[in-house]
Amino acid sequence: MASSENSAAPIKSRKHLWAVRVVIACSVLALGLAAFLEVGRWLVVEDPLAKVRAIAVLSGRMPLRALEAAKLYRQGYASEIWLTHSSDPGETLEAMGIPYAGEEYYNTLVLIHEGVPAAAIHVLNPPTVNTVDEVQVISAGLDRQQGNDRSVILVTSKAHTRRARLLWRKLASKQTRAITRAASDDPFDPGHWWRTTSDALDVVREVLGLLNAWAGLPLTRTR
Residue 206 inside a domain? The answer is: yes
3-state secondary structure of 182: strand
Checking if the pLDDT of 171 tops 80, the result is yes
**Residue at 33 is within a domain:** no
The yes-or-no verdict on residue 97 having pLDDT over 90 is: no
> 157: domain CATH number?
3.40.50.620
**What whole-number distance in Å separates Cα of residue 66 and Cα of residue 52?**
17
Is position 22 within any domain?
no
Query: How large is the average pLDDT for residues 92-119?
Result: 92
Do 193 and 202 meet the contact criterion of CB atoms below 8 Å apart? yes
195 and 162 Cβ atoms separated by less than 8 Å: no
Query: Would you state the pLDDT for residue 87?
Result: 83
Residue 103, in any domain of the structure: yes
Residue ranges making up the domain that contains 109: 54-214
Is the confidence at residue 216, as pLDDT, over 80?
Answer: yes
Residue 114 domain flag: yes
- 17 in a structural domain: no
- The stretch 103-115 carries a mean pLDDT of 97
Angle at 212 between CA 65 and CA 43, to 5 degrees: 45
Q: What percent of the chain has pLDDT over 90?
A: 70
pTM given for the model: 0.85
Neighbours of 123 (CB within 10 A): 13
Average pLDDT, the chain: 89
Number of structural domains (the chain) is 1
